[in-house]
Amino acid sequence: DVKVTQSSRYLVKRTGEKVFLECVQDMDHENMFWYRQDPGLGLRLIYFSYDVKMKEKGDIPEGYSVSREKKERFSLILESASTNQTSMYLCASERGGYNEQFFGPGTRLTVL
Amino acid sequence: DQQVKQNSPSLSVQEGRISILNCDYTNSMFDYFLWYKKYPAEGPTFLISISSIKDKNEDGRFTVFLNKSAKHLSLHIVPSQPGDSAVYFCAASEVGGSARQLTFGSGTQLTVLP
């Protein structure tokens, strides 16, 4: 079974704090993704990575950065958290050449 | 501008009946379509997919239909069960790029009534 884990299920931070969301997958997948899910908007892609140290912007990258130093780990960084970044954050991984993404359980981030 | 649209935020169906969830898209370059199911406090899980070279794909109680000329796809669940109650997301991807990006719809909350 593919397993995608995220470091926290719930997180509360203050405006201006630097926030790290960690994601780890155990199936040697090449591609990893970060989404945010908001009511009425579905899942929107923030960033993705197709290889170690490689990254590409998704649809809504503003205010976020990412890091992929190892194949199994993909981090999402909020340099200076703002209240409009309060959301559910979902990480996914996918074997290159296939189309099925496997998702982690999500991190509910609240920025006060 | 949403490229993948699920116009029904919610749907209620009686147990044993058919559930039909709909999805429309605008990007002609999409060539692969997927449905995901999401329970509260869990990540989405893959349900079924279809390539643009097909018009139907079936997996047990789940069937996805694709109408390319209308840019429309639908998910049929027969018979519906209470455990099917979840949010269903339609997603689409296109050829090209370094990795296939999925574009998701806004989701439809399905409630199956016992």
Q: Looking at residue B57, what is its pLDDT?
A: 96
Q: Looking at residue B96, what is its pLDDT?
A: 64
Half-sphere exposure of B105 (CA within 13 A, CB side): 31
pLDDT in tens, B69-103: 999 999 999 999 999 999 999 999 886 655 678 89
pLDDT in tens, A18-54: 999 999 999 999 999 999 999 888 899 999 999 898 9
**Which of A101, A103, A107 should we substitute to test contact with B (largest number of B Cβ atoms within 10 Å)?**
A101
* Chain B: closest CA distance from residue A80 (Å): 26
Is B99 close to A58, i.e. CB distance below 8 A? no
Enter the tokens of residue B8: 């029904």
Q: Looking at residue A99, what is its pLDDT?
A: 72
Mean residue pLDDT across chain A: 93
Residue A67 and residue A70: Cα distance in Å, rounded?
9
* Contacting residues of B for A60, CB less than 8 Å apart: none
With cut-offs at 50, 70 and 90, classify the pLDDT of residue A95: confident
CA distances from A27 to A31, A50, A72, B34, B36 (A): 11, 14, 8, 21, 20
Q: Looking at residue B2, what is its pLDDT?
A: 82
Residue B113 and residue B13: Cα distance in Å, rounded?
6
Q: Looking at residue A2, what is its pLDDT?
A: 64
Least confident stretch, A50-59, B55-64, B88-97: B88-97
